[in-house]
Amino acid sequence: MTDDTPIKASWFYWDDSEKTKFNWFLYEYACTLYTHIRKSRDGTLSRWRSGRSNKQVAEFCAYFSKRMRQSVLDSIAKRAGETVGDEEYICDYCHTNTLDENGVILEAAQSAWGELLEICVMCPERCITERDYRSMFFDKIG
């Protein structure tokens, strides 16, 4: 996922101590969401996307992924039933969106979330259960 998106891994940490597996997971989610938004054939999402550069879409995906942090942590700690994205995350970033645009972005976010979790089941890195451990991937891609 890292080669075909303008999302930078460095957007997910400030210093070496933040190069954690959990932040890598958030980076992977942002990349997956970006791919879902870019490849969507939904007319509403296509119109939303056409009004933004690839970098602007990438920046939104990174923002949305980082906003998901607390929802993921709440789900892990059993404070919430499931991990969900909130329309508020979109509204806070994209102030001029319509309800339809927010809805299709949320659909893309849910689809991307499901895809990432399917990949995570087979991945040996355990980015969620070992979330505070250092991720070697940040150093590999620079």
Per-residue pLDDT tens over the stretch 86-131: 777 887 888 889 999 999 999 999 999 989 989 988 999 999 889 9
Domain spans, the chain: 16-129
Other beta carbons within 10 angstroms of residue 21's beta carbon come to 21
Average pLDDT, the chain: 88
Other beta carbons within 10 angstroms of residue 25's beta carbon come to 24
pLDDT band at 84 (very low <50, low <70, confident <90, very high): low
- In a 3-state reduction of DSSP, which class is residue 25? helix
Under 8 Å CB-to-CB from 32, ≥6 apart: which residues? 1, 112, 113, 115, 116
pTM for this one? 0.89
Q: What's the CA gap between 18 and 138, in Å, rounded?
A: 10
